[in-house]
Structure 1
Amino acid sequence: MEDRDLLIFLNSLNFLSENALKVYNFLHDNEIEVENFDSVDFVEEEVLSKRSNDKLHEMHPKIDEILESVKEEARAKEIKIVTILDDDYPKSLSYIEDPPSVLYIKGDLKLKNPLAFVGARKHTSYGENVVNRLIDGLKGYDFTIVSGMAYGIDSLAHKRALYNNLNTVAVLGSGVDVVYPKRNRNLYDEIINSHGAVISEFPMGLHANTYTFPMRNRIISGLSDAVVVVEAKDKSGSLITARLAAEQGREILSVPGNINSTYSVGTNKLIRDGAIPLIEVQDILDLYPDMKSNSNLDFDIDLDAEELVVFNLLKDGLGSANDISAKLNKDIIYINKILTMLELKGAIERFSMNEFKTLF
């Protein structure tokens, strides 16, 4: 039995990573073969609670059966199992407090300049606009967008990364083979098919619950160089991720918002408490002074005089057709025709029913 097999076995019994590593370290430090863990009273050694110790000894006779079952299921579902003892375990996770002992990986885990995006599950059009604008601005750079595939800002970040051909990694609060929320099935598949990855520390088949989401947050921040917080209520899960990121020595960038908006209370407080105010894409790029764009994008789009006027108003901050109509004193139908042409030419993008943003 290999050392890594003990960690996989303990994980399959739903042992927390902290407890699994306590067991492994005790055996290693005392030069006890891992397959002989049943010879140790971990309660007496003050390593485990009685309940965990009893469960471990009860399941010892089934260890080979359990390991074979887990590995066979992983093979069938094309899931890779990586332990903290393996060479391909993400190094950034090795150094955080309470590192995951085991990771289940579906897809191709690549972590080039990983950048986490987190935020409210319920968000405003402002939050969506911010995510789109920021991630669009990263197109052509070697970034990996990390998030949790939850509703709201998480899903928007993954989708926008895919839209811009950026690598993306989703960290689940369920087993890696359990799509949560279920409506994100297509997003789950698209991430994997686009050579990104979906990962989890939880055993296959485990469904998400109230304790799994805070646990996965430390992995989101731990994998990343920096964490971007886009819209967050006071005392939200996104602020937990930000706190963990600070404890792990990661940079925190927070998007300022309207002080009257419930969804900006958390982000504004982060800035008050020392987070970097995230005003534009350059604030992210400043953290990577040596990074160069590998894009050959050409934004030389031919616009006629009327289109250019409307485009420049959008660039100056007038985001809706109604605002532009009022500014130019033109009929809304006329403005909508111009906006449609700008969309077709790839100069602007609609991000809500009546709001637009420029793409360069």
Structure 2
Amino acid sequence: MVYMNSPPNYLDQGQYFDKVKQSGKTYSKWGGGGVLTEKNAFDPLFFNITPREAASMSPHQKLILQESWKALEDAGYNPKKLSEAPVGGVFIGAEPANYYHESFTGSSDAIVASRLSYYLNLMGPAMVVNTGCSSSATAIHLACESLRKGGETDLAIAGGVYANLDTSSLVALSGIDMISPTGKCFTFDEKADGTVLSEGGVGIVVLKPLHQAEIDGDPIYGVIVGSGINQDGASNGITAPPNGLAQERLLMDIYKKYEIDPNDISYVEAHGTGTKLGDPIEVNALIRAFKRYTTKEHYCAIGSTKSSIGHTGAAAGVIGLIRVLLSITQRQIPRLINFKTLNPLIDLHRSPFYINTETETWVSKQGKPLLAAINSFGHSGTNAHLVVQEHKPSEVKD
């Protein structure tokens, strides 16, 4: 289903590609870690959808239906019986797919989330969130807030999708030098020359209040112990590099609100797009925020899945969360690939962070649960941050 690079018919190179930057062309012919070649490999009758309607449906709608079903089954639920359960909500991060067809419902981006609610008869909130590359992390935060309120949502299906990698995206981003001409994402490296888009991005997590999940005997991969979002506000330009001060402020607000000690965070899954200016702004904001709490040095690894699979757009946050959950489960921190020499604008000397160039065993400190953070920001200016802890089963009383 996924090509590691581009399938033969992915890009009309004679028309759209040229290694020399110029208007109307792209200097990139790569699809990062994945290009979905079977976007329409979908069983409509399974979801009570007619083949004709399915032919007009956006790939985003199909992928969310399929992956949400799998996520619910993995969580131990029969999706068809959710309508008999507590209130279910759907929170999906997605940007417009530029998909137009004969069907209004099939083309509508608003229905990416609510089609699942319709099919499963879920009565909670159903929303599509678009904050650019921070969309799915923002959607997960909103799902957590809905769960925290009590009554609005008792079970949340949250995540993101990115399946609209086409020539127009590559041409537009090449025009502003956002795309790497090498086809590799050199996160935090001096060779950083832009990001690499990766279409193979869809991720879904099922969220519940911890106490209830323990009572219900649900499989628990991790616990979101803190989350938040904020905005860059005014800057040098609406598409200017991320606002480091706003990111620093967000971390401080979350750590204070949820009484989180960064001394206990031993891995940060950064946004890490592999851009020469964006990476330093992000890392330096993390350094400033952590230094407000600790003088310890080089105890926290920092990495990004984008170096491995490319930038999955609106799905980037949930992909980072899933990577962290897998790392917690395996008790390993994956190495940062494509890294050799640190970007000179990043100074890790006497900082809390280090870059692990080899996969390492993730060891808990003083018997405490493993603790990690996921950082995300979008070209919209919306920043999102999640803190995730290893689950330690407790004695639960009904």
Q: State TM-score, norm by structure 1.
A: 0.27
Q: State the structure with more CA Rg.
A: 1
- Structure with the bigger RCO (C-alpha within 8 Å, sep 6+) is 2
The structure in which a higher percent of residues are helix is 1
Q: State TM-score, norm by structure 2.
A: 0.25
